[in-house]
Amino acid sequence: MKLTFLSSIVAAFLATSAAAIPLNKRAEMCGQWDTTSAGPYTVYNNLWGEGSATSGSQCTSVNSIDGNVLSWSTSWSWAGGQYNVKSYANAELKFDAVKLSSVSSIPFQWSWSYSGSNIVADVAFDLWTSTANTSDFEIEIMVWLAAIGGAGPIGDSVGTFSYGGYTWNLHKGNNGSNDVYSFVATEQIKSIKSDLLPFFKHLIDSGYISSSQYLRAVQAGTEPFLGSNAKLVTSSYSVSVN
């Protein structure tokens, strides 16, 4: 369609302005595997464990994206299967796989809040590595900012790690497919600006993983076990792999 000169100016202005305006809240995703793209992230509803619940549901929304700073939220209620994770609503960074030995930093910032009743859940990073940059995920590394209502990680405690003014209990276990290392903060951390690389270095220095592993995924979200009318709101989140 041929545009007039004035129409061309208006169209160019709208295109330029739209890139600078934070994204309006998008429709909720309520399907088991629903996803949406938001800047450098893919946001997942991810009801991977809903089959262990006797009842419940979950929906996830992107609230805004401004550059690489994301705001998103997820609302859920789950009953039954008290020892089983029901889902992992999360924001995953899009990046090319890279060897841990080549990573100089993984800076992040995350501010969040939780509301609801009888919540058993965690708020955590889920980080995945593998021997090759195209093979299946092999090692899962979690960094828990909060263990709410008695939620606990897979495996046994194998020590502690002090970093960034916080103490983290390290657990080692296996989920049936992958070795899992979980750093669980001894207190809830609702707002933090830090770097994830020292967690990997601690595992490398302790002989648990190799620096030749490829970092494949950086996800941040919540794993609910039980609760009603629960809502996690991430007011501000960003991460990058350098």
Say which of 92, 138, 187, 223 is annotated catalytic: 223
Burial of 94 (0-12, 13-18, 19+ CB in 10 A): exposed
Active site residue 223: yes
Determine the Cα angle at 133 with ends 131 and 134, to 5°.
105
In sign, the C-alpha dihedral spanning 156, 162, 164, 166 is: positive
Say which of 28, 50, 92, 140 is annotated catalytic: 140
- Give yes or no for a contact between 208 and 181, defined as CB atoms under 8 angstroms apart: yes
Please give the positions annotated as active site: 140, 223
